[in-house]
Amino acid sequence: MYRLEQAAPTEEFKRAWSAAGQYIQRQADSGFNWLRTSLNLPMAEHLSFRIGNQIFFVFVEAAEFTYKCDGRIFDKVCKEANAIPCLMPMSKSLGEWEPNNVGWALINANSIGG
């Protein structure tokens, strides 16, 4: 069990998080099920979903959340849950948050050197 001291996410992060979830939902097809769709504290992952028997935990990199600073607990929880750790970097363009990548816009956190 982990003791997490977390502040509530800012309104700016909530907008980025919402845009990330909507983007992922548009990519989804049959067999897709959301597991976590709230920002209730405590949280290791920002979003999570299942496709078939695979679980994906998503760390949304936007506003005050950066994987480099906040990813330690995320990595541990993903490993314990046997979930695929995904990063979703987001940027603000013309006042709207959007993913930095195409397709599902997710990066496997295991591929990030650290």
Supply the pLDDT for residue 107.
96
51 neighbors 31 (Cβ within 8 angstroms): yes
CATH label of the domain that carries residue 87: 3.40.1350
Q: Which residue has the higher pLDDT, 91 or 113?
A: 91
- Over residues 29-87, the pLDDT tens digits come to 888 999 999 999 888 899 999 999 999 999 999 988 888 877 788 999 999 999 999 99
Select from 18, 23, 10, 11 the least CA-distant residue to 100: 23
The token duo for 71 is 């990813």
| Domain span holding position 65 | 18-111
Whether residue 39 is contained in a domain is answered as: yes
What helix, strand, coil percent values describe the chain, rounded to 5? 30, 30, 40
pLDDT at 113: 59
Instruction: Look at residue 3 in the predicted model and tell me its pLDDT.
Output: 58
Is residue 2 one of the residues assigned to a domain?
no
| 53 lies in some domain | yes
Q: Identify whether 78 is part of a domain.
A: yes
Q: How many structural domains does the chain have?
A: 1
In a domain, 52, yes or no: yes
**Which residues does 52 contact at the CB level (< 8 Å), separation at least 6?**
31
Is 5 part of a structural domain of the chain? no
**Residue 2 in this model has a pLDDT that exceeds 60:** no
pLDDT reading at 8 higher than 80: yes
Q: How many beta carbons lie within 10 A of that of residue 104, not counting itself?
A: 16
